[in-house]
Amino acid sequence: MEKAGANEAAVNCFLRAYDLLEKGTDFNLSEEDISPAETIPHMEEVLIKDEKKHAQYLSETVVIKLNGGLGTGMGLEKAKSLLEVKEGQTFLDLIARQNAYLRKNTGEAVKFLLMNSYNTSEETNEFLKKYPEYAEKSEVEMLQNFSPKVLKSSLEPATWDTDPKLEWCPPGHGDIYTVLYGSGWLDKLLEQGVKYAFISNSDNLGATVQPSLLTYFVESNLPFLMEVTKRTPADSKGGHLCMRNSDGQLQLREIAQCEEGDLESFQDINKHKYFNTNNLWLRLDVLKETVEKHGGFLPLPIIINKKTLNPRESSTPEVYQLETAMGAAIDCFPGASAVCVPRSRFAPVKKTSDLLSLRSDAYEIHESGRVMLIPERNGEPPVVKLSDNFKLVEQMESLGNPSLKEAHSLSVEGNVKFKEGVVIKGNVSIVNGDKKLLEIPAGTYEDISLTPDSFNFAS
């Protein structure tokens, strides 16, 4: 790592993770040791509207977007944030619009940073040249760290002479804290009078700075605030908020930390009601004090991601990628809290089904650049499930764009295409077991299951 240019904080963080791997440390959170998080305040109950305080705190805030992903799971070979989301706009276009709107409407030059990876840095900075205020990468970029992949068979560093880049992996978005400290950005921000950070994923276009929520965070003297929202059936596998029984500390439990016997409880959205949106508010002075206690990083639970050395070749050696999750930091700050936010603050794209939903008429682009559910949805996104033949973006785009503004759920299995003018209402499933393409003609389909034998299904 040192030879490759990694800083001391990154090396220390990896050595801790490796030591825990070697010792077989168990980071599972048993259902017996936790309780559901119950008394979470709702955003509308805590907002503090005070224009004078808004201006002061915004001038002391940095907006940080995590922008290290390539979206390989959707067949992309470029930065995920350069994918067109809606109306010809990419994630980065909309993020730029959001920041411009914030600055214009508050009169404050809110600082903005991107955490890029070595995979996304070059093309992201090239793209941002269209926005003069972000054209100088030294003023807007932090580079994510990198870690060696570890051979499962021997726990030695993986080597691959034909493509040495494959020997390395990103250490997960929990790396943000190590990057801030090890890069010098944390000290630089504090020297500039920046005290607070709002951190979110670049693929979540609902995550924008809400001045009244920032003021609540500051006035409550919280070290760390996690935005959570109510889980729906679409979120049953996402990390949920819980409380440690021994001391009442809030924790984030990811599915990778769930024992097999607890899976049913983990996915019970009526029991564990809140999931992490990865929209986080952070006091930078408290972060500095905490990371310095641990050698430049936070002692987060390790997620052991099992892969093959070349992800595209299953015959290559099995490796471990040692990662951490950003939201798990809630356990590192005594007094950390959470707030339940509307679903409008959570509109990510992890799969092509998310993209199909986001591009549909169930969502709209607000003048602020936020992509939001239309008001008629009452905060409930349509639940979309697509079979594996639509796993890639280009495959999904061949499906067509049905209206989903009144859809509760849409499930598509097999070789299917929507013709223009298809409207989905309620719960609709389509199953085509034939190889021949099933074209769904224009019409309204409500609470119905469709197959190639369905000829009179349009209303």
Q: Which residues contact 394 (CB under 8 A, 6 or more apart)?
A: 75
3-class secondary structure, 74: helix
Task: Kindly report the backbone phi and psi dihedral angles of residue 153, in degrees, each rounded to the nearest multiple of 5, phi listed first.
Answer: -70, -35
Q: Are 199 and 142 in contact (CB under 8 A)?
A: no
Q: Which amino acid is it at 181?
A: Y
Beta carbons of 150 and 156 less than 8 angstroms apart: yes
Q: Give yes or no: 350 in active site.
A: yes
State the Cα–Cα distance between residues 99 and 209, nearest whole angstrom: 9
Q: 152, 288, 350, 417: which is the annotated catalytic residue? A: 350
Rounded Cα–Cα distance for residues 299 and 331 (Å)? 9
As a whole number of angstroms, the distance between CA 119 and CA 71 comes to 11
Measured between alpha carbons, how far is 1 from 16 in angstroms, rounded to an integer? 14
CB atoms within 10 A of CB 233: 9
- The b/e string for 21-33 (b: 16+ C-beta within 10 A; e otherwise) is eeeeeeeebebee
Residue 281: strand pairing partners = 198, 225
What positions carry a catalytic annotation? 350
